[in-house]
Structure 1
Amino acid sequence: MRWLIPSRYTKVSPWKNRLLRSIRTASPWFHMPLLMILVFVPFIHHYALTSNVSLYIKRLGRLSYVLVVLNVLLTLRPGNPIFGFNYLDFISLHKWLSRFVTVIGIIHGIGFIVKWSIDPSVSMISKATRLYNFIGVVAFVPLSVLLFVSIRAFRRYSYKTFYIAHQLAQWSMVFLIPIHARPRVTVPYFIILLVLYVQRGISYSYHSSTVHVTQRVKDETSLTYVKVDRGTIRDWLPGSHLRISKYKKRNPLYWLMPTKPYTIASLPDENQVDLVIRENSVPYVVVGEYTVVDVYSTVPPTLLYDSQRVAIVVGGSGISFGLGIFKYLQTRNLEYLKFIWLIRNNEDMHILNQCNVDTNDLEVYVTRSLPQDDTQTKSPAANSSSEFDDIDFELETMDDSGALLTSDVKTPSKVHFGKKLDWQVDLAQFIEPRTLQNSWLVCCGPKSLLDDGQAYADQNYCNFVKEFYSL
């Protein structure tokens, strides 16, 4: 899973800039506390908490299923019809709201079990096995499992297990909780969720198309190039991604199993769809037939149409996000355009031989001692001196700066071996105070790269777009 966060130019104090960015980007660190204030301030009202424990336990249950509607609304694709955001903007907020709903639902269930257990006038077993209460007990099980398997370490260990638990918990909240809830809310609750899920069903079917993966090139490197026939895939904006399913629409698994997102490295006027991916030991995409659910735009239009100065810094497979934007901006004759690609091994440059790209304005930084997150950069606040790893260089012609000079049209004019990116030095010509409103820094890669990019953008008050990958 991945998501994109745009940031606009605001020349204000750093803490105000962070606050504005949190509001614009649906950050859970701002919106979750705000939501809790809104729901809990009127929560305790009229009745004393100590003498009306049962009433407040019931209120927690009602709060959990009411918030499910909001949670489903956050997952609508391709965009949210009410707030005008892309669905990726809400992924982080959706995850934290899901945890909040799960926790208060579990507290609701445990609260009644404890209450019945300590009350000598009732039988806990007889209470729990009553029809409507038992439906709540059944819904309690997948929620409890989800709370454990949603931990990041477990999601990375077995995403499929997490997804199955997520789906079971989701459908139990959608179908079982409205029946369990009292007073009866089944009809209005189902009507609201039906409308939302019909919209989701339309988004999964209206623009879907069957495509053929015709080429897959790995060349013993960590990056894989995948070529997909254009077919009937609708046009997309540069930087968009598509979601691929192994199953056809008539297969129930198409609707139940997760789809894989891949950023498109080509432009819509090309005959094929280029994907650049970093795969696990078992590849998801091989030569064969797949279903593309849809394409989704994640890049602010102002970056594509109004920008004048753009620097693109990507790491590893993040080149897939940068290439489409880069190739489009090359047609606009900007004041400044620079593409920097950070990779572990120079063999990864085979990707450029597969993609239709003009390598002018493109520089590659090859550092073979990279950490596990794919890239090394020097923080904007770091010492500006160059650092080189001990590398056995092949016989290649280099200039005084250590850059590789080559006449291969598919190889960048400059390839830096063992050198870490120094933001202040290597982007020294990027920032012009008179054009900050139309200056954009675009980053894609691991968290360390994005944090450095964010710091650089904050220091120089330029617009910032970042995309990163996470389960």
Structure 2
Amino acid sequence: MKTGDTGTYIHFDSRHEAGEHGSGDHHHSSTHYINVKFGYYLFFLSIAHAIAIWAYHRVFFQRPRKPSLGFSALPWVNFPLVLSVGAWLAISLAILCYSGAYAIAIKRFGRLSYALVPFDIFLALRPNIPPIPYLSTLDLHKWVSRLIILYGLMHGIGYLVKWGLEGVFGKTFLLLNLLGLVVFILFIPLLVISARYFRRKYYRTFYALHNITLFVFLGLITFHARPGVLFFTSLSVLLLIYQVFCRVFRVCTVQNVEIISSDYSSLLIARISKPTDYHYFPGDHLRLTYSPTNFKAWIFPTHPYTIASFPDEPYIDLVLRSPSSFYLGSDCQYSISYSYTTMNLSGLKHAKSVHLVAGGTGISFILPVAKLLLSWGVFFSTTWVTRNKYDLHILKALNVKGNIDTYITGATEKQNKTSDPEEAHGLMSSAESENVELEDLSATKEEKPSGSSLKFGRPPLKDILNYLTEGDVSKNWVITAGPHSLVSEIETWGKLNGVGVLSELYEM
């Protein structure tokens, strides 16, 4: 298996096929370099795509816009994924079908796979270059990674079949070809575990395998590929060096982490003393991990959280699901990244009405945004959907004073703690809504936002949001944060009713 090119189907260059090192005057067949240009074609297209993403967000991220032309209700937040992935598939297939020769086509699979690696790393950089909302590149990163794996597997399978039919299967185990076989073997479990179900269930395993495969891929294919791919390797390594630099030098080290929890609650608060000169805006996020001096920081993934506290407070509050797979305690040092923004809210200063809808830990995004709207004098209402009524303890801990209509979707009072985002949202279509006074939760009125209501069952979102469809809807907005089921339902509603929707998706 090779990333580069060879001769015709019948005659093969011995060094390229068998992995033997030739002398400087070694003769290459006329098609040995034919695929090199296609790798560069794809690379320059990826550069153009990166520029397009930046330009798109430069224009559309400046000010919220209403849904139009049948696109998503959030065209300024997410560069249309269907268009991006569809374009890459069409371009790749066009390049692959340019030559009908089987031998040339299967070599081209390998070269295209490796040519996409720099772009894929670029999409995964945190923080992004240039600074754009990282969620806008996350889904595209997943799909480009799948294309890389798919092309790599097709390249490998193509050669295994070819050599098997020709009776020269032993070429697979020659040194340079064996390097490609190692990568081929790693690609198979990575493709399986990258599926949404397995990725969410075994995320740490996925993350470790993902990184191991990346470094093995970069290292082995550098020698395996003929003609060479040193340009793509060098660029990929430079991007990884930048990422390591950010993980070491663009972080703040913290140690005093206070955990605020409550019996039976599925949510807890991690309160961190705010480092000196640490700045952020309402609705910003950060990434939390172990200190760079701790080996766990390089093995396990960083954890993205929304900053639930307001910028003028002396601490940073994070809302986490309980129990958390990420250990937090005062006996360990941690590092937090500089804050980053995924949503431009400045265009809402002149909004008439805004409804905030949170699901589960999405309340961490909604609360500071609510304070921001209050400071601007914008009318807003807030709805929170959570599975466990004992989660309300975080409202007291976060010193919430406003009105919040809370819907509890769990079936029993003492809920089992869950780490599944969909269950955490827990919209149950069969549940009946029941008004319950907040003080019934063994808490005083002062411990809960005055004037708020607590209900059990699925929130009737269409009825709740209906008032936004009255009069001039151009100045009415919905801001939602939570799992896919909640976000998708509200985005669909907004598109049908012409009401603008800003959303944050709280899922892996």
Q: Which TM-score tier does this pair reach, normalised by the shorter chain?
A: 0.7 to 0.9
State the superposition RMSD in angstroms.
Answer: 3.1
Matched, 1:414 2:452: yes
Do 1:314 and 1:340's aligned partners in 2 also have CA atoms closer than 8 Å?
A: yes
Q: Percent identity?
A: 29
Q: List aligned pairs for 1:37-436, cutoff 5 A.
A: 37-45=90-98, 47=99, 49=100, 52-81=101-130, 85-120=132-167, 123-125=168-170, 127-186=171-230, 188-220=231-263, 221-232=265-276, 234-246=278-290, 248-280=291-323, 282=325, 284-288=327-331, 289-303=333-347, 305=349, 307-334=351-378, 336-359=379-402, 361-369=403-411, 372-376=423-427, 387-388=432-433, 407-408=445-446, 410-418=448-456, 420-431=458-469, 433-434=471-472, 436=474
TM-score under structure 2 length normalisation: 0.78
**Residues of 2 paired with 1:394 and 1:310: CA distance?**
25
Instruction: Please give the per-residue CA displacement for 1:139-189, whole angstroms capped at 9, x wherever unaligned.
Output: 222112211221222223322211111111111222222221111121x22
**Hey, what's the Cα distance between the residues in 2 that align with 1:422 and 1:252?**
48
Q: Counterpart of 1:204 in structure 2: which amino acid?
A: R
- Distance (Å, rounded) in 1 between the aligned partners of 2:67 and 2:145: 35
Q: Give the gaps of 5 or more residues in structure 2.
A: 1-59, 413-421
Aligned equivalents of 1:139, 1:228: Cα separation in 2: 42
Deviation at 1:346, TM superposition (A): 2.9
Change (3 A) 1:216 1:394: same
Quick one: which amino acid aligns to residue 421 of structure 1? Answer: P
Displacement of 1:309: 2.6
- Output the CA distance in 1 between the equivalents of 2:492 and 2:93: 35
**Per-residue CA distance 1:388-414 (angstroms, 9 max, x = gap):** 35x9x68969xxxxxxx9852642412
1:13-66 per-position Cα deviation (integer Å, ceiling 9, x unaligned):
5xx234x85696134322111111122223333x4x2xx211111000000000
C-alpha separation in 1, matches of 2:428 and 2:278: 37
Question: Quick check: 2:156–2:181 contact (8 Å CA) kept in 1?
Answer: yes
Return 5+ residue gaps in structure 1 as ranges.
398-404
Structure with greater helix percent: 2
Contact 1:266 1:324 in 2 (8 A): yes
Residues 349 and 411 in structure 1, CA contact (< 8 A), matched pair in contact too = no
1:400 aligned residue: none
Deviation at 1:313, TM superposition (A): 0.4
Q: Secondary structure at the match of 2:485?
A: helix
Paired with 1:421 and 1:113, the residues of 2 have a C-alpha distance of 55
Q: 1:469 Cα deviation (Å)? A: 2.5
2:26 matched to which residue of 1?
none
Partner of 2:417: none
- Following the alignment from structure 1 to structure 2, what is the Cα–Cα distance between the partners of residues 171 and 395? 53
The 2-side partners of 1:21 and 1:367 are apart by: 27
SS at match of 2:221: helix
Does the aligned pair in 1 maintain the 2:121–2:239 contact within 8 Å?
A: yes
Q: State the distance in 2 between where 1:428 and 1:322 align.
A: 20
Task: Indicate how the Cα distance of structure 1 residues 233 and 206 shifts in structure 2: closer, same or farther if over 3 A, else same.
Answer: farther
Q: Residue 203 of structure 1: CA displacement?
A: 2.5
